[in-house]
Amino acid sequence: MTLLVVSGLSKAFGGVVAARDVSFTVARGELVALIGPNGAGKSTTFNMVGGQLAPDAGSVMLDGAPITGLAPRAIWRLGVGRTFQIAQAFVSMTAAENVAVAVQSAARRSFGLAGSAQREGRDVALVLLEAVGLTKVADHVVATLAYGDIKRVELAIALAGAPKLLLMDEPTAGMARGERHALMEQVAALARTRGLGVLFTEHDMDAVFGHADRVLALVAGKIVAEGTPAAVQADEAVQRLYLGASGARIAKAAGVRRGAP
Amino acid sequence: MTRDAENPPILEVSGLDAFYGPAQAVFGVSFTVRPGEAVALVGRNGAGKSTTLKAIIGLIERQAAGLIFSGHDIRAMPTHAVARLGLGYVPEERRIFTDLTVAENLEVGRLPVRGGRDAWTPARLYEIFPNLAMMAGRSAGRMSGGEQQMLAIARTLMGNPDAVLLDEPSEGLSPLIVEQMAVAIQRMQQDGLAIVLSEQNVAFAAEIATRAVLLESGVVTFDGPMADLLQRDHDAG
Amino acid sequence: MSPPRNAAFTQVHPTMSLAFVLTQFLNGLAGAASLFIVASGLTIVFGVTRIVNFAHGSLYMLGAYVAVTLMAPLLDVSRSLPMFLLGLVVAALVTGLLGVAMEMLLLRRIYRSPELLQLLVTFGLVLVVQDLVIRVWGPLEILGPRAPGLKGAISVLGTPFPTYDLFVIAMGLAVFCGVWLLLFRTRFGVLVRAATQDRDMVAALGVNQARLFTGALFLGAALAGLGGALQIPRAAASPQMDIAVLTDAFVVTVIGGMGSVPGAALAALLIGQLNAFGIVVAPKSTLVLVFLLMAVVLVVRPQGLLGRPEPLALRVVMPEGFIGLAPMTARGRQVIAGVLAVLVALPLVADAYTLKVAIEVYVLALAAFALAFLIGNGGLVSFGHAAYFGIGAYGAGLAVKKLGLGMEPALVLAPLAGALAAAAFGFFIARLSGIYLAMLTLAVAQIAYAAGVQWVDVTGGDNGIVGVWPARWAANRVVYYYLTLALSAAGIAVLTCVLHAPFGYALRAARDSAVRADAIGLDVVALRRLAFVVAGAAAGLAGGLYAFSKGSIDPTLLAIPQSVDFLAMLLMGGLQHVAGALVGAAALHVLRDFVLPLTDMWRMLLGALIIGIVLVAPQGIVGGVLRWAPRFARGGPS
């Protein structure tokens, strides 16, 4: 069932066109990867879906309702959680407090002048931290955590609004190799069990071709290929414009590993 | 070995630790580079490649048992002094001055020439990077990623360096541009420059560098001929 | 070109003749030229060093004093225009060298410090220079000589216009062209512009940053000095001119865009004309019009007319402010109970004077705690906290004197007045962040101060309001002591609850990462607006208590030095700790009380203290105690 429908999104910065006529869909429970060289318009497309940027043209529909050009906070309330390329967490707070703040926001309690922010929503926060494997560090201040763990905290924060769609900008960037695979497995499991749609950008070909259900290849602001990982990886234009010989080899290897029992 | 004795290292890094604020990102990294040699720092995103380069040039806090460039101990030197000794740095994400014109970007990089080599001039650089010549008076912010990368390299060459630290020069560029980049870097190398390349794209790194230093989680886990590393990877996977 | 006079129009608006319009236009240009010369220096220094140099006003003042001192001997040699020009140039160069000294001795040490500490250091310098100027040149105004050859007026369509103002216009144009050529046609200018964008990269290309910064400071300071020197034939040099010009220069750079010289020129032109023609619309206060212009510009373009938006801070750094808020421990409760017990018992042993000082400390501690709420928890660096404190005091005073109310309702109105002012100002301020926010807080506080001084009918002007006495039952000093202690402690307790409540956490979340906060549904601007209201109410209550303790109110309660006092308290106590503001308020006030009778150089001492703390012990008293006595950490009051 289609969750996100993006049609005809365009955006130019000055004279530079960052995205032109970008259209795609994401279904519930589906992991869709957005790949392409730096500057191809991945982050621009992402930010237009998440509300950080307003598109020049085109529309974004979530569950049949238009969210084009809404503020990020409004889009979040409609069911879109997101993580950032450089992890954005509340560094002065513990992991549990980070998630609790999001839980309080979801409950529209953030303007509450009384009560304990440490206790409110803590139970929900602990459940979410468990889901991303951070129970042990729930009461550690985020600034003291390893970068990979901060990325997981971000994921738990994004889940606190009970989203229908998860936007993840380079979810595994800066993580160790072993962690990357584990994180993507977790995300895939969350998507299946909760019926979440996941749209993610990624440079790591292992993550893309090992975990995505569908891949969109973006070059110079345009989608040049779309389809299953195998189809996109075999696509002549993608090989020429993005993957190159070494990238194709890695992509193929990742696909093979995935196909193997 | 006799060749090594005739050609002593221009850059010697030993036991380098680098920090982002309180967090240590690089642990005891050591390697050397000789004039005309290209060494690739390879490893995953976040393995400490960029951090190592930034630490050598002095853009982030560092400690080292030894950090010698052209016979000078550069451990306590500020960034600009290291650059003036002839160590060029091309940062990741290029960091060109988008408010300035192409010609002005080159002017910022201009330093007096050392030694007997011909000084780099905008005219000479425009020969290698003909795209830049056409847009000399244009604002650098309105260039494509590939053009900006060429400008970043040209800007560093304006300082007439003896060695260049190149941070992820192929990142985000289309294969066609990457090929041009490889040619330009090989030309610099033939000119006698020492090159330290940080690169995730191992295929690109192998095209340029003969030696590889593999970084994993801020630690060197391999230092040897590029061919050996490729062979090892091949055997492993 | 000139159209025939519209007789009918002239009859209806006798002042709007063509001659009037033209002279006002020229007046506006002259004002714009003065503004631009000062503001361009400020904006260039900011662009390169990323430091908003509060001491820019001090350099302007020094330029004026140097010019006043130099002109007499120079004009004795020959009473001619060239000598006058020589005086201007020398004054600019001398000021430029003072700027170089400032950079090499002080600024160089703080380039990597947090923004707030940088601002405080340059403000410390403002205080030091004020006392130095008084020491060297005396407290009285010094009138400068008129410029030979530029006296008198020329006729503009029959209306006289001062020749010297034409000269100022020409100087403004000359400075604009000169600065433009310097920035766009010299290597130094290319480096300055490159450094404005990415100074680390400039260093990596072999450019000595230190020298570049020194050069930028020389240029900026020389422009400030030239601006000051140009003023002396029009207005006397006085020890108060630094703050006045600083506010003007801030407004110009904020409207024009920080770091943009063309922006400064455009904003100066706009403000010059607004001032010139604004007197037709609002004869008494063109300040309000300028504020409205600033508000409109900042609402439409928060980065200023020609400024570039600050790149989103997408990094994981620990902000300057409260780190973690642990729940209250048993030990912490014991400490607080112990301190409160001592304070309750104090009247048993203390004399009347000690009680007076204690009352002041409680009031200041409440106001400082409100500021810590904004800065420490919200990351909202307010340089205008005195506005809410002072408006609270005026609210209480006016309630008593104009509305004939008693102390009790007045003490209810005081926090309401503070909250209302904070809501009005915060509406605009909260849209900004970082350095722009800090500058706007200072600018709007100056509006409140100007209203306090100029709106004589209501505020009593410089004389203020007298006879604001407590109710009969509270007139006894011991009773008022307990009243102040109770209300201050209650205020601090309420603020502490808010810190730990979801709102306090949401506000701190927005401080840690505004992008992340926005992405989890938090309305960052609304959170910050409410933060200003909460802090404004607490500061307003403090102001009301202060008014009744003194019996009188005057505009100094609204002035910048009062705001700086609050900041100094936070700095002294420690910015990273909730208790810092309280400890700092007590320490600074007691210190002042002890030192003030001994010296007339309190400002210099305070300035040196601020600079010293930033350079030597930026963690403040509480931070220091926690560091050296880690056992305290577990029992500390946060």
Please name the member of C497, C500, C502 whose beta carbon is closest to the beta carbon of A104.
C502
Same domain, A73 and A177: yes
Between β-strands A31-35 and A57-62, what pairing exists: parallel, antiparallel or unpaired?
Answer: unpaired
Nearest C-alpha of chain A: how many angstroms from B141? 10
> pLDDT class for C313, splitting at 50, 70, 90?
very low
User: Tell me, what's the pLDDT at C283?
Assistant: 67
Contact residues, chain A, for B237 at CB < 8 Å = 253
- CA nearest neighbour of B208 among B232, B228, B178: B178
- Residue A213 buriedness (CB in 10 A; 0-12 / 13-18 / 19+): middle
Cβ neighbours for C140, distance < 8 A, ≥ 6 positions apart: none
Contact residues, chain B, for A14 at CB < 8 Å = 141-142
Please name the member of B44, B144, B175 whose beta carbon is closest to the beta carbon of A244.
B175
Does the residue C7 lie in any domain? Answer: no
Count of domains observed in chain C? 2
pLDDT at C637 over 70: no
Decide if C205 and B100 are in contact by the 8 Å CB cutoff. no
Comparing alpha-carbon positions, the chain B residue that sits nearest to C208 is: B80
- CA nearest neighbour of C398 among C472, C480, C467: C467
Does the residue A67 lie in any domain? Answer: yes
Range of the domain at A157: 89-162
Please name the member of A84, A91, A92 whose beta carbon is closest to the beta carbon of C314.
A84
Same domain, C230 and C340: no
Same domain, A7 and A51: yes
- Written as one letter, the residue type at C597 is P
Residues pairing with B214 in the sheet? B42, B222
Q: What is the CATH number of the domain that holds A171?
A: 3.40.50.300
Same domain, A59 and A107: no
Decide if C205 and B21 are in contact by the 8 Å CB cutoff. no
Residue A241 DSSP one-character state? I
Q: Given the structure tokens 């820019």, which residue do they identify?
A: C56
C207 touches chain B (CB under 8 A): yes
Most confident of A243-252, B228-237, C157-166: C157-166
Q: Lowest mean pLDDT: which of A8-22, C9-23, C117-131?
A: C9-23
3-state secondary structure C456-493: HHHHCHHHCEECCCCCHHHCCHHHHHHHHHHHHHHHHH
Same domain, A215 and A136: no
User: What is the tens place of the pLDDT at every residue in C367-397?
Assistant: 999 999 999 999 999 999 999 999 999 999 9
User: What is the tens place of the pLDDT at every residue in B21-34?
Assistant: 656 778 899 999 99
Same domain, A60 and A95: no
Is the reported ipTM for this assembly greater than 0.85? yes
Tokens of C596: 């003030």
Same domain, C619 and C489: yes
Of A162, A186, A209, which one is at a domain's C-terminal end? Answer: A162
> pLDDT class for A256, splitting at 50, 70, 90?
low
Q: Which secondary-structure segment (H or E) carries C22?
A: helix C18-49
Decide if A176 and B203 are in contact by the 8 Å CB cutoff. no
User: What is the tens place of the pLDDT at every residue in A207-227?
Assistant: 788 899 999 998 878 898 899
A174 φ/ψ sector (left φ>0, alpha ψ -120 to 50, else beta): left
Q: Which of A13, A141, A238, A246 to mutate to test the interface with B (most CBs of B within 10 A)?
A: A246
Of C258, C281, C300, which one is at a domain's C-terminal end? Answer: C300
Decide if A94 and C324 are in contact by the 8 Å CB cutoff. yes
Does the residue C410 lie in any domain? Answer: yes
Pairwise CA distance, residues A86 & A82, whole Å? 12
Same domain, C480 and C596: yes
Q: What is the CATH number of the domain that holds B217?
A: 3.40.50.300
Does the residue A138 lie in any domain? Answer: yes
Same domain, C351 and C274: no
Q: Over the Cα atoms of chain B, what is R_g?
A: 17
Same domain, C233 and C277: yes
Query: What's the whole-number mean pLDDT along residues C584-596?
Result: 93
Q: Which of A80, A108, A110, A166 to mutate to test the interface with C (most CBs of C within 10 A)?
A: A110
User: Tell me, what's the pLDDT at A15?
Assistant: 63
Nearest C-alpha of chain C: how many angstroms from B98? 8
* More reliable by pLDDT, C114 or B97: B97
Q: How far apart are the first and last CA of chain A?
A: 28
Same domain, A168 and A255: yes
Does the residue A185 lie in any domain? Answer: yes
Of C300, C322, C349, which one is at a domain's C-terminal end? Answer: C300
Comparing alpha-carbon positions, the chain C residue that sits nearest to B154 is: C205
Give the A:B interface size as CB pairs under 8 Å.
Answer: 45
Q: Which secondary-structure segment (H or E) carries B195?
A: strand B194-199
Does the residue A35 lie in any domain? Answer: yes
Does the residue C117 lie in any domain? Answer: yes
Of A142, A162, A182, which one is at a domain's C-terminal end? Answer: A162
Q: Given the structure tokens 């910048």, which residue do they identify?
A: C560
Same domain, A226 and A140: no
- CA nearest neighbour of B56 among B197, B232, B206: B197
Count of domains observed in chain A? 2
User: What is the tens place of the pLDDT at every residue in B176-210?
Assistant: 777 788 888 988 888 889 999 998 777 788 889 99
User: Tell me, what's the pLDDT at A258?
Assistant: 60
Comparing alpha-carbon positions, the chain A residue that sits nearest to C499 is: A113
Same domain, C371 and C435: yes
Q: Which secondary-structure segment (H or E) carries B214?
A: strand B211-216
Pairwise CA distance, residues B101 & C393, whole Å? 55
User: Tell me, what's the pLDDT at C310?
Assistant: 66
- Residue A225 buriedness (CB in 10 A; 0-12 / 13-18 / 19+): buried
Does the residue C474 lie in any domain? Answer: yes
Does the residue C87 lie in any domain? Answer: yes
Same domain, C279 and C369: no
For chain C, which residues lie within 8 Å of any Cβ of chain A, measuring from their own Cβ?
314-319, 321-325, 327, 497-498, 500-506, 508-509, 511-513, 515-523, 526-527, 530, 534
* More reliable by pLDDT, A149 or B171: A149
pLDDT at C68 over 80: yes
> pLDDT class for C292, splitting at 50, 70, 90?
confident
Query: What's the whole-number mean pLDDT along residues B27-55?
Result: 89
- Residues A78 and A65 sit within 8 Å (Cβ to Cβ): yes
Same domain, A115 and A195: no
Contact residues, chain B, for A203 at CB < 8 Å = 45
Percent of chain C with pLDDT over 70: 94
- Mean confidence (pLDDT) of chain A: 86
Count of domains observed in chain B? 1
pLDDT at A252 over 70: no
Please name the member of C187, C197, C200 whose beta carbon is closest to the beta carbon of B97.
C197
Q: Lowest mean pLDDT: which of B13-17, B105-109, C262-266, C598-602?
A: C598-602
Range of the domain at C610: 330-635
Between β-strands B61-63 and B11-20, what pairing exists: parallel, antiparallel or unpaired?
Answer: antiparallel
> pLDDT class for C564, splitting at 50, 70, 90?
very high
Range of the domain at B157: 2-236
Contact residues, chain B, for A219 at CB < 8 Å = 174
Decide if C316 and A120 are in contact by the 8 Å CB cutoff. no
Same domain, C422 and C365: yes
Does the residue A114 lie in any domain? Answer: yes
Please name the member of B172, B173, B203 whose beta carbon is closest to the beta carbon of A245.
B203
Contact residues, chain A, for B141 at CB < 8 Å = 14
For chain A, which residues lie within 8 Å of any Cβ of chain B, measuring from their own Cβ?
14-16, 37-40, 147, 173-177, 203-204, 219, 240-242, 244-247, 253
Same domain, A112 and A93: yes
- Residues C571 and C614 sit within 8 Å (Cβ to Cβ): yes
Query: What's the whole-number mean pLDDT along residues C216-245?
Result: 94
Please name the member of C196, C201, C209 whose beta carbon is closest to the beta carbon of B95.
C201
Query: What's the whole-number mean pLDDT along residues A23-52?
Result: 88
User: Tell me, what's the pLDDT at A261?
Assistant: 36
Q: Which of B104, B108, B120 to mutate to test the interface with C (most CBs of C within 10 A)?
A: B108
User: Tell me, what's the pLDDT at A242?
Assistant: 64
Does the residue A84 lie in any domain? Answer: no
Does the residue A213 lie in any domain? Answer: yes
Of A112, A132, A162, which one is at a domain's C-terminal end? Answer: A162
User: What is the tens place of the pLDDT at every residue in A142-194?
Assistant: 888 877 888 899 999 999 999 999 999 888 876 766 778 888 998 999 899 98
Burial of B155-194, coded b for 16+ CB within 10 Å and e otherwise, reads bbbbbbbbbbbbbbbbbbbbbebbebbbebbeebbeeebb
C323 touches chain B (CB under 8 A): no
Between β-strands A31-35 and A214-219, what pairing exists: parallel, antiparallel or unpaired?
Answer: parallel
Does the residue C324 lie in any domain? Answer: no
- Residues C231 and C63 sit within 8 Å (Cβ to Cβ): no
* More reliable by pLDDT, A197 or C8: A197
Decide if C503 and A50 are in contact by the 8 Å CB cutoff. no
C315 touches chain B (CB under 8 A): no
Same domain, A37 and A150: no
